Structure 1
Amino acid sequence: MSVPRTVVGVSGGVDSSVAAWLLVQAGEPLAGLFMQNWDDDGSGECRAEDDRRDAVAVCGRLGIPFHFRDFSKEYWAGVFEHFLAEYAAGRTPNPDVLCNREVKFKHFLDAARELGAERIATGHYAQVARAGGRWRLLRGADRDKDQSYFLHQLGQEQLAATLFPIGHLPKAQVRTTAREAGLPTHAKKDSTGICFIGERDFREFLGRWLPARPGEIRDPHGVRVGEHPGVFYFTLGQREGLAIGGVRGRAAAPWYVVGKDVAGNVLYVDQDRDSPWLLSRALRSETMHWIEGAAPAREFDCAAQVRYRQQEEPCRVRVDDDGTVSVRFARAQRAATPGQSLVLYDGPACLGGAVIDSTDAPVPGVQERA
């Protein structure tokens, strides 16, 4: 068996299938590798075996070797334990960011090199370019599918050894290519949500590790309006799942989560989607990761996202001595959430990112409404 120059991560989905097909068409010496990142937990919701069969079928259709690696232990230690700790602390983590850093562009890259390959390829909607002697991570051409937000923890070593074959394509063309190439995954539904939860109920899943502890739901001024099953099941700005019925003297309007007091086990809500309790103009991050290895300047203007698929927002960034950043936005941001990722952009180039540590939004139960 010949040694591949590139190992493509085949997930059993249409994006990685087309990525592999494009590389085969380009004459690239190629092998496919399927990563199992989550053990079957007995719920019947884990589709890893179905995905693996689809990945095998794609490699068979393309005539490339198929490899399998079980990274479930690495995923548990590097991603899932952090996920649980963050929720227990009342924050909202983003496991996809850690999965990319700790598994797909670390253990997968190591496995590819063990097979003799020089680099890896994935079906992410992102692009890599080299300028001024440094590697740059660029947005995918399809802005609606761009995944650079989830890749902001990558560095020079990973980008130098990574191909994103579909990053220049719109999703519709990827589907068309898969169908015309006769790939068995051409009509497969895209996966959504957090990979290890799948289509199951999030609250039921999280409750296996963080048992429910009911408590009061209050408005921002401390008036009780209902009861919650556990504050860590909710995130800022959330509307669904509050189960607040008609409250005497209140309008028949939706309620939104505007704050969490984990120590006091209190969930705070308000009936204004753009409640001032949800709005912030400034935030601080945890230690910042810069894709090119350093910040472009001590202070600079750029654009930022505080959630996936958000329209990028103009901001001013100050790099602090401890490696964190302080960011002030040109306009107020809704539901910027500690635990989620702040990702900075200069045009299509992703500069890097960090976990949001805190914002200047008022704190229900502590600060009175301005």
Structure 2
Amino acid sequence: MTSNFGLDRPQGSRIVVAMSGGVDSSVTAALAVATGAEVVGVTLQLYDHGEAVKRTGSCCAGQDIYDAKQVADRLGIAHYVLDYESRFREGVIDRFADEYARGRTPIPCALCNQGVKFTDLIHFARELGADCLATGHYVRRVVNGDRVELHKGSDPKRDQSYFLYGTTTDQLGFLRFPLGDLPKSEVRRIAAENGLIVAGKPDSQDICFVPNGDYASLVKRLRPETEAPGDIVDLDGRILGRHRGVVHFTIGQRRGIEIGGSPAPLYVVRIEPEQGRIVVGPRSALAIDRIRVEELSWIGEGQSEVSVKVRSLAPAVPALIDGGWVRFDRPEYGVAPGQAAVFYDGTRLLGGGWIADTVAADPRLTCAAAA
């Protein structure tokens, strides 16, 4: 259980560790302590929706802050809790709700990493005179000559590179990810070996600020217009039924379309929030030829031939980049505006951006997403 965290002389160095209260960040702290460097744990309090105080397996609230403190005490390191609730609400939660109100499918984890979790935490760590900031993400930081690269985690089931596409080159020089080569079983073994109370703590399965995974209730409270009922129509605009609010639907969804008598399964093809309509069609209508990507961010050299992931759990597929447009080698299914398109060269993360518009493989079905 040794790592120098990419530091020439760990002893005499200072490592700040982002501690969410979960097993991954706790083991990151334990690995940092093992180097002999001075280690400081930092936990961000990002939200508190009442019952979230009692939740475990999330991060950045209530019980999880307490767990992070207990781990820090066990390891004998200083521990700070920073109240970033207002910044998180404005930069992540409000935008999450706004995206659903626009008929898009947001990805809050990427927003959080681009904002408070990296930008603000790195600033704080540098103010403390730290040599690096370490996190529990399953990605690999690779030094290739005079270049620092970010690669997928060794375990494809744990890889979190998709959510880190907005990391900048300057940030990568300061960040460390010691878990990138480890399987989860080894992480839990290290936690148990160090007597950490989180060794058996379950992994989070939900968006951290959404109690019990009920994102619709949160969005409806913040943006009540998203629960207005409306029509479900086919590709030709014929009314097939009614829905109980656009907040309940995402592109590619099949469940929850309450229409009887359809000879074939129907999927959500388009969401039109201004008209309050959900457009449905056969799976073939989900085939997308190309997408327009905005707010492009590059951590590696920009290149035209890439592999691209359009969902966190989707495989990377070959594509060609031309300006802000990305054309797939073969049609891709279930591509949702609001998600991220993330570019790779093999295992190396190159960058990405937000999916703004989609162009269907069948030109008769093309409709730009709400901008």
The TM-score normalised by the length of structure 2 is: 0.88
2:96 and 2:241 map into 1 onto residues whose CA distance is: 27
Q: Does 1:20 align with 2:24?
A: no
Give the equivalent residue in structure 2 for 1:109: 122
> What are the ranges of 5 or more consecutive residues in structure 1 without an aligned counterpart?
none
- The residue that corresponds to 1:311 in the other structure is 315
Structure 2 match to 1:255: 266
Give 1:308 shift: 0.2
What corresponds to 2:334 in structure 1? 335
Task: Give the letter for the 1:280 counterpart.
Answer: I
Q: CA deviation at 1:96?
A: 0.7
Are 1:291 and 2:299 counterparts?
yes
Q: Does 1:267 align with 2:278?
A: yes
Structure 2: 5+ residue runs without aligned partners? 1-10, 56-60
The answer (yes or no) to whether the contact 1:134–1:156 under 8 Å persists in 2 is no
SS of the residue corresponding to residue 295 of structure 2 reads coil
Summarize deviations over 1:184-204 as a string: whole Å, max 9, x none.
Answer: 101111112211113142221
2:150/2:348 contact within 8 Å kept: yes
1:163 pairs with 176, 179, 191, which one?
A: 176
Contact preservation (8 Å) 1:314, 1:329: yes
Give the distance between the partners of 1:328 and 1:365, measured in 2 at CA: 18
- CA 1:363–1:35 in 2, change beyond 3 Å: closer, same or farther? farther
1:308-361: CA deviations, max 9, x gaps?
Answer: 02111011122x2xxxx2111111101111111000000111000000111112
Q: 1:69 to 1:367 in 2, by over 3 A?
A: closer
Q: Distance in 1 between matches of 2:333 and 2:357?
A: 14
Secondary structure, aligned partner of 1:207: helix
> Is 1:301–2:326 an aligned residue pair?
no
User: What is the aligned length?
Assistant: 350
Q: Distance in 2 between matches of 1:290 and 1:192?
A: 29
Q: Which residue number corresponds to residue 5 of structure 2?
A: none
Q: Distance in 1 between matches of 2:243 and 2:46?
A: 32
Matches within 5 A, 1:81-96: 81-96=94-109
- In the alignment, which residue of structure 1 is the partner of 2:135? 122
2:8 corresponds to: none
Equivalent positions of 1:134-173 (< 5 A) are 134-173=147-186
Task: For 2:275 and 2:364, locate their aligned partners in 1 and report how far apart those are by CA, in whole Å.
Answer: 11
- The offset of 1:116, in angstroms, is 2.4
Q: Give the whole-Å Cα distance in 2 for the aligned partners of 1:262 and 1:3.
A: 56
Task: Indicate the residue corresponding to 1:219 in structure 2.
Answer: 234
1:43 Cα deviation from its structure 2 partner = 4.8
Q: In 2, distance between residues paired with 1:187 and 1:215?
A: 45
When the two chains are superposed, the root-mean-square deviation of aligned CA atoms in Å is 2.3
Contact 2:207 2:213 in 1 (8 A): no
Paired residues of 2:52 and 2:211 also in contact (CA < 8 A): no
Q: What TM-score do you get using the length of structure 1 for normalisation?
A: 0.88
Q: Displacement, 1:132?
A: 4.5
- Is the contact between residue 126 and residue 137 of structure 1 (CA under 8 Å) also seen in structure 2? yes
Indicate conservation of the 8 Å contact 1:268/1:364, yes or no. Answer: no
Rate the CA distance shift 1:280–1:200 in 2: closer, same or farther, 3 A: closer
Q: Displacement, 1:366? A: 6.6
Answer whether contact 1:286 1:356 (CA < 8 A) is retained: yes
How far the C-alpha of 1:49 sits from its partner, in A, is: 1.2
Distance 1:264-1:76 versus aligned 2 partners, 3 A rule: same
Does structure 1 residue 352 correspond to structure 2 residue 351? yes
Q: Secondary structure at the match of 1:304?
A: strand
Larger helix percent: 2
- Secondary structure, counterpart of 1:350 in structure 2: strand
1:363/1:216 CA distance change after superposition, 3 Å: farther
Could you tell me whether the CA contact under 8 Å between 1:127 and 1:140 is conserved in 2?
Answer: yes
Shift of 1:257: 1.2
Correspondent of 2:19 among 2, 7, 10: 10
Going from structure 1 to structure 2, the CA distance change for 1:4 and 1:75 (only over 3 Å counts) comes to farther
Residues 366 and 264 from structure 1, CA distance in 2 versus in 1: closer, same or farther, beyond 3 angstroms? farther
Return closer, same or farther for 1:109/1:254 CA change in 2, 3 Å cut-off: same
Shift of the 284–44 alpha-carbon distance from structure 1 to 2, 3 Å rule, reads closer
What is the SS of the residue equivalent to 2:154? coil
